[in-house]
Amino acid sequence: MAMDREKITSRTPDWRDRVNKWRQRTRGARRRLALFMAVVGPGFITSNVDNDAGGISTYSVVGATYGYALLWSLIPMTIALYVTEEMCARLGVVTGKGLSDLIREEFGFRPTFFVMVTGFLVDLGNVVAEFAGVAASMEIFHVSKYIAVPIAAFVVWILVLRGTYRQVEKIFLIACLFYVAYIISAVLARPDWLLAAKSVVIPSFQLNASYLLMLTALVGTTIAPWQFFYLQAGFVEKRVGPRQYPQARADVLVGSISCMVIVFFIIVCTGATLFVSGHRNITDAKQAAEALVPLAGRGASILFAFGLLNASLFAASILPLSTAHVICEGLGFEGGIDHKFREAPIFYWLYTILIVVGGGLVLIPGASYLKILVFSQVANGVWLPIVLIFIVLLASRRDLMGEYVNSTTFSVIAWVTCVVMIVLTIVLVLAALFPGRFGSVPGL
C-alpha cells in the first residue's frame, strides 16, 4: 500500500497539489450540488409515478383521438401539480411530520380513520390497475399474465422487504430514467416538432362534450391523491429540514416539469402516428403500442410497451408500501420497513394484502382491465377533494407553519387549483359512473 503511494507520488510529484487546487476551485459548485442531491428524490419520484398505467393509457388515447389539440393543457397542469405538491413538501419539511400524522393531530381521530379507510380501498383499486398494466404490457411481449403478474408481485414484495429506504429510492430514480423510452419512441414516430411546440404554447379550445371530458381525464389521471402522502413522507424520512426547503422545492419543481415532459412525448408519439393515419379509436395503452408497429416500426412499439411495464411496476412498488405506511402512521400502529414483522404486524399485513389481493384480482379469468381502471379512477376522484382540502387547510395554519405559512396570494392560487381539480374530478367520476349520459370516459 504505502509503497504504491510513494511510487505514484514520486512519478507525478505535484498530483496531489493539482487535485487539491481543482477541489478548491469547484468547492462552491460541489457543495451546492451535494446539497441538492441530498434532498432530491421524493419530488422527482412522486411526479414520475404519476405517469402510471392509467395515466399512460389516457395520454395515448388523448394523442390518438385529438392529436396535439390538448397539448396546451400541459402548462396549466404543471402549475397545478407543482402548487399542490409544493404544499405537501413544505408541510413535511417544516413540521417534520407525515400528512396522516398532521391530519390526526389537527383534525382528530374520526376524520383520520375515514381518510385512512377510503385511502386503503382507493389504493387497492390503484394497485389492481397497476398490475393490470403489468399484465397488458407483458401480453404485448407474448407473456401470459398468469406468469407475469405473480412474478411482478413477488419482485415488488421482496424489493421493499429486503431494501432500505435509500436503496429503494435509488432503484426508483433509475426507474424514472426508463421513462426516456417514451422520448425515443416519440422520436421514432417522426412527429412535426414545430407544430407540437406551437400546440403547447397556443391554447386551442373545442366546445364539445367529448373534448372536455378528455381534458378532464387528462387532469384527473395526472394528480392522484396518494402521491401527496408519499411525497411528504419522502421528505420526512430523508429528514429534510426547513433549511433545505429551497432544494426540496427545486426537487418538486423539477419533478413536476419532468412528469409533464413525459406526458408531452407520449401524446406526441400517438398523435404523430395514430391520429395522423386515422387510427383514432383506441381505448388503452396496449392497443396504442400494437397500432404503433406499422406506423413507427417495431422498435417504437416495443419501447412504448416497455415504458408501460416500467411505469406499472414502479407504481406497484410504491403504492402498497406508501399506503401501509400512511395508515399505520395515522392510526398509531408501528410501521415501516425498519421494523420486524413481530413489531409491526399490522403494517406488514396491510402491505401483503394490498399486493396479494391487488395482483390476484387481475388474475381472475376474464377480468376486464377497463372496469378495473374505471373503478380506480372513480375512487381517486372521490378521495382527492378530501385530501386536497386537508392539505390546503394545514398549509394555511400559521401556528403550524410559522413563517412558511401559505401567503395570501398562494392561498388564492391553492384554493383555485383545488376547486378546479375537484370540479374536474367530480365530472370525471360522474362520467365514469354514468357512461351513457356524459359520453364515455376516454382512456378507460
Partner 1 sequence: MLHATELLGSIAYDAQGNFVGRVRELFIEPADQPNRVARYLLGRGKYQPLVARYDQVGSVAPGTMRLNVSEKALEEYRANEGWLAVQKDLLDQQIIDTGGRKVVRVNDLDLAEHHLNGSVELRVSLADVGLTGAVGRLLQGIASYAFIRRVQGKLPTSTIPWEFVNLIEPDPLRRIKLRVSHQKLAHLHPADLADILEDLSSEERQSIIDSLDEESAAETLAELDARLRQQIVEKLDPEKAADIIEEMQPDQAADLLATLSPETSQELLEEMPQFEARDVRGLMQFGENTAGGMMNTHFIVVAESATREEVIEWIRSNDVDADQLDAVFLTDSSAKFAGVVPMGRLLLADAGQAMASLKSEPLLSLLPDAHVRDVFELFDKYNLRVLTVADDNGSPIGAITVDDVVTRLTVKARYKFK
Q: Which stretches of the chain bind partner 1, using CB under 8 A?
A: 1-2, 95-97, 104-105, 108-110, 112-113, 164, 166, 239, 241-243, 331-332
CB 124 within 8 A of CB 115: no
Q: CB of residue 16 vs partner 1: minimum separation in angstroms?
A: 12
Pick the closer one to partner 1 by CB: 108 or 294.
108
384 burial class (0-12, 13-18, 19+ CB within 10 angstroms)?
buried
Minimal distance, residue 14 CB to partner 1, in Å: 18
The conformational region for residue 264 under phi > 0 = left, psi -120 to 50 = alpha, else beta, is alpha
In angstroms, what is the minimal distance from the CB of 2 to partner 1? 8
Where does residue 434 rank: exposed (0-12), middle (13-18), buried (19+ CB within 10 A)?
Answer: exposed
Residues ≥6 apart with Cβ < 8 Å to 19: none
Q: Considering the complex, state which of residue 229 and residue 306 has its C-beta at the smaller distance from partner 1.
A: 229
Residue 6 or 298: which CB sits closer to partner 1?
6
Q: Do 355 and 130 touch, CB atoms closer than 8 A? A: no
**Half-sphere exposure for 410 (CA within 13 Å, toward CB):** 16
> Which cell numbers hold the place of 129?
390497475
CB 392 within 8 A of CB 87: yes
Using an 8 Å Cβ cutoff, are 112 and 101 in contact?
no
CB nearer to partner 1: pick between 96 and 297:
96
Report, in Å, the least distance between residue 242 CB and partner 1.
8
Minimum CB separation from partner 1 for residue 98, in Å? 10
Q: Specify the residue, 105 or 290, whose C-beta has the smaller distance to partner 1.
A: 105
Q: What is the DSSP string of 284-303?
A: SHHHHHHHHHHHH-HHHHHH
Nearer Cβ to partner 1 (27/190): 27
DSSP-derived letter for residue 136 is: H
Which CA distances in Å does 277 have to 70, 71, 160, 281?
Answer: 18, 19, 44, 11
Q: How far is the CB of 106 from partner 1 (least distance, A)?
A: 8
Q: Which is nearer to partner 1, 30 or 239 (CB)?
A: 239
Nearer to partner 1, 96 or 360 (CB): 96
- Nearest-approach distance from CB 250 to partner 1, in angstroms: 19
Q: Least distance in Å: CB of 107 to partner 1?
A: 9
Whether 98 and 232 have beta carbons less than 8 Å apart is answered as yes
213 CB-near residues (< 8 Å, 6+ apart) = 427, 428, 431, 438, 439, 441, 442
In angstroms, the CA 23 to CA 383 distance is 51
Residue 22 CB, nearest distance to partner 1 (Å)? 17
Q: Which is nearer to partner 1, 1 or 194 (CB)?
A: 1
Smaller CB separation from partner 1, 159 or 184:
159
Nearer to partner 1 among residue 244 and residue 417 (C-beta):
244
Cell of 374: 374505471
Contacts of 381 (CB under 8 A, 6+ apart): 220, 425, 426, 428, 429, 432
Please state the closest distance from residue 95 (CB atom) to partner 1, in A.
6
- Name the region of 442 (left: φ>0; alpha: ψ -120 to 50; beta: rest): beta
The minimum distance between CB 344 and partner 1, in angstroms, equals 12
* Residue count of the chain: 444
